[in-house]
Amino acid sequence: MSSEWDETCLVCCTKTKNRCSKCAEAGIDLFFCSPDHQKLVWNVHKRVCGPGKSNPFLWPLLSDDELPEMLAHMNETTGYLVGCEPECNTVAKALQHDFALPPDSVTLLITSCAQSAHPNASDPGSLAVQLVVATIRALEFARTGQTVVDLDLAQFIPLSSSYPWNAASVWDVNEAHDPSTAGLEQGTEPWRTKLRHYSLAYNTVLAIVYADERTELARSFGKHLQRIVDSIRTSVAPSNPTLATKLLERMELSDGVADVIRSCLRSS
């Protein structure tokens, strides 16, 4: 189904004909209005760009640097985990809870989601592995053991290396969870790939604007959110109106995040 957002830059949401060539090879049309905007988000986009990564959208496996970091901090209560119940307030406990694992299986589960466990770059894992990777990415902030004083949202956004993955995967795993779909089928829905790209792009831009005070990009927040909202209405609602209603309600919270960023920029 065509949309006014079909040919819009992932970074600034302006109309453009400039496709990401690697993603086009994978059969999905994603756009950047200029090389500068593609470079701006390249450290994030490159991990979900091109055949075997972008269509369907696959959460990137843990790199050789990320794996030891996650294992080193998996028993620490950091980031948003400080506000969780005791049975879920570390990465290890959260994975045990979500996947009904015994404590001695957590290290093996995390290691199974590393690139070294899947040397074939064109096959980064089964749907079962992707479900675990998405959950681990939703705990991304904990990978480097970042501590917080309280749960003020503004503390997390400057963590630009982890925030986009954390925020986009939390949205995908929690908000866009479809209880009517068997767990291993989640992620195969036709609408999910494009929405994952839009969500990751939005959260990457949020982090860049906050960290680098790119005020000109702050003006695109409303367009980013509207693009996601319209995609929910046109691609999710026809097949799953209940989930679409839930997602649209949660999008109001995303608008609140954008307001936090704008407020911080005005006061800086």
User: So where are the chain's domains?
Assistant: 59-147
For residue 221 the two structure tokens come to: 């927040």
Q: What local confidence, expressed as pLDDT, does residue 154 receive?
A: 47
Please write the tens of the pLDDT for every residue from 69-98.
Answer: 999 999 988 777 877 899 999 999 999 999
C-alpha torsion 164→76→148→69, nearest 10: -40
| Orientation of helix 163-170 relative to helix 127-137, angle to 10° | 120
DSSP secondary structure, 62-119, as one string: B-TTHHHHHHHHTTS--GGGGGS-GGGSSHHHHHHHHHT--GGGHHHHHHTTBGGG--
The whole-number pLDDT of residue 188 equals: 80
Which pLDDT score, from 0 to 100, does residue 170 have?
87
- Whole-number Cα distances in Å, 246 to 153, 175, 202: 22, 8, 19
pLDDT for 173 equals 87
Tokens of 179: 């209880």
- The size of the chain, in residues, is 268
Q: Which pLDDT value is given to residue 182?
A: 56
CA of residue 194 relative to chain centroid, distance: 12
Q: Would you state the structure tokens that stand for residue 257, as one six-digit string?
A: 């995040």
Q: Is the dihedral of CA 187, 231, 206, 214 positive or negative?
A: positive
How far are the Cα atoms of 209, 232, 234, 245 from residue 238, in angstroms, in the given order?
34, 9, 7, 11
Spans of the chain, pLDDT less than 50: 1, 122, 149-151, 153-154, 156-158, 160, 261, 268
**Contact call for residues 229 and 248 (beta carbons, < 8 A):** yes
- pTM here is 0.88
| Residue 228: per-residue pLDDT | 93
